[in-house]
Amino acid sequence: MAETVTATPGRRVFVDKQSPDAYRALAATAEAVRAVAAEAGLDRVLVELVNLRVSQLNACAFCLDLHTRAALRAGETTRRLAVLPAWRDTELFTPRERAALALAEATTHPADAEAQTAAYALARPVLSDDEISAVIWVAITINAFNRVSVLSKHPVRPAPAH
């Protein structure tokens, strides 16, 4: 059990450090979800687009920083990353990516029944059941990590000078 520290005004608890067993379980879930996504045939770029879009919706600076770098390593372009918040208004994303992004948004805002219906209508013609399930699991998992980072206020620090 991690040591409990008396809270002071403005100080956040890093819940991942305070409850490491729970965080390890979340990390293990993320690893299983990565395997499910790969088995379903989702490429790394699509997975990172989902991670980024959900992190944008949740305003998670830490995850945005982490997954932007991961998307670039996976081959994503800065142009598409720049317009990701407005993906519906561009022709830069494939039908599969658009379906995945709609599912990710519907998963992030589950109370929006109309968005869920629209997302499934977009997904059904271009994604298999395995792919739909994998996208939803990716979105569920990044939502959980976003909450850990946002509520802990994980810092985003400048890269060290070379």
Position 8 confidence tier, pLDDT thresholds 50, 70, 90: low
Q: What pTM was computed for the model?
A: 0.91
Superfamily covering domain 19-152: AhpD-like (1.20.1290.10)
Q: What is the mean pLDDT of the chain?
A: 94
Q: Which residues contact 134 (CB under 8 A, 6 or more apart)?
A: 33, 36, 37, 39, 40, 42
Q: How far apart are CA 136 and CA 160, in angstroms?
A: 35
The ranges assigned to domains in the chain are 19-152
Q: Is the model's pLDDT at 7 over the cut of 60?
A: no
Q: Which residues contact 103 (CB under 8 A, 6 or more apart)?
A: 119, 120, 122, 123, 127, 132, 135, 136, 139
More confident residue, 64 or 158: 64
**pLDDT tens by residue, 90-118:** 999 999 999 999 999 999 999 999 999 99
Q: Per-residue pLDDT averaged across 53-58, rounded?
A: 98
